[in-house]
Amino acid sequence: MHKDELLELHAKMVAIMEQFREMDDIDASAFDPYDELDVTPEDVHKSKSEHKHAVFVLGNALAEVMSDDEFSDAGRIGKRMAELAEDAESKL
């Protein structure tokens, strides 16, 4: 995936996150790990690796707020996103 495509994906995922944050029944603290990264789609000067890591961390948070438990489809996706985020972080 090219960096511009990754930035576009990152932006779309942030838009989804913002929709979830507006919901009353969603724990907004689920997105704290993503917020702590301080990497947004507008940060075009940041490396592709940093954006990739941010996408995986955000993907994990999105899956977490959508899952009923760790064995649901979203729960399994969240677990995989966490593994990918850890791998991406090790390559920063």
d(CA 40, CA 14) in angstroms, rounded, equals 8
pLDDT attached to residue 70: 60
Helix (H/G/I), strand (E/B), else coil: 86: helix
Mind listing the pLDDT tens digit for each residue in 43-75? 999 999 999 999 999 999 998 888 765 656 776
Q: CATH number, domain at 64?
A: 1.20.1270.110
pLDDT attached to residue 69: 56
How many domains would you assign to the chain? Answer: 1
- Domain holding 12, by residue range, is 3-90
Nearest to 21 by CA among 74, 61, 51, 73: 61
pTM: 0.80
d(CA 51, CA 8) in angstroms, rounded, equals 11
